[in-house]
Amino acid sequence: MNEVTVGILTPHAAPGPEVELPALSHGRVRTVVVRAGSPRDLGASTNPAALEEAAATFRSSEVDAVAHASTTTGYLIGASKEAWLVAELERLCGVPAFASCGAAVAALRAGGAARVQLVHPPWFAHALDDQGVAYFRAQGFHVVATRAEELPDDPALVEPEQIVEWVEQHLRDDLDGIYLAGNGFRTAATLNELQRRTGKVIVSANQALLQAVLSSTH
């Protein structure tokens, strides 16, 4: 299979998509990362100037697709502005574009999930729980938010087995899908085991972006 190059625009410093997209694709995907804004100023990565600057880098790198990788930004700006963001990136870069929450919605729907449990890492601000519920409810899902408070507050210290155990212990039986939110929440190594143990539709932020990218570049 041909290698796919993905431009990643993110406000987050923690490694995420640049680690997980290559891992999940078994080396098929390489990334070009542009960081703009910060977790304290998520909106900065959606400003026209930031998009223009990122697009210049992506065009010079001849990427095959671009992705705005920030679940929390999607929560903050909502689905309508996220759709505008995707359209603007496509216009500026001339390739397919995606954003974290929109990709997650598509992946959950493709899996047949309608009743979804959001699993938020402990470094998410508490206000994001309600914003996440509001985002997915607006897309037609029945949704509840849960916070994995017992996990380490540093993304680099979270081990896959800790995630699997936490989800298994806090799983809501009345729901049919789980969204592991956060592009810095490195859950790639948990997906198969969670699927095996729970029988639920399991979607992670980076997995959803990868699915969207690969479906557009076949």
The CATH code of the domain that includes 78 is 3.40.50.12500
Q: What is the pTM of this model?
A: 0.95
Is residue 122 located within the same domain as residue 149?
A: yes
> Considering its fold, how many domains does the chain have in total?
2
Cα distances (Å, whole numbers) of residue 68 to 72, 87, 88, 205: 11, 11, 11, 11
Query: What is the C-alpha separation between 118 and 48, in angstroms, rounded?
Result: 30
Is residue 95 located within the same domain as residue 109?
A: no
Query: What is the C-alpha separation between 187 and 199, in angstroms, rounded?
Result: 17
Domain of residue 87 covers: 4-99+207-217
Is residue 62 located within the same domain as residue 113?
A: no
Is residue 66 located within the same domain as residue 89?
A: yes
The pair phi, psi for residue 150, each rounded to 5°, is -75, -15
Is residue 9 located within the same domain as residue 82?
A: yes
Give tens-digit pLDDT for 14-25.
999 999 999 999
Low-confidence ranges of the chain (pLDDT < 50): none
> What pLDDT is stored for residue 1 in this prediction?
55
For residue 119, with 0-12 CB atoms within 10 Å meaning exposed, 13-18 middle and 19 or more buried, which class applies? buried
Is residue 32 located within the same domain as residue 56?
A: yes
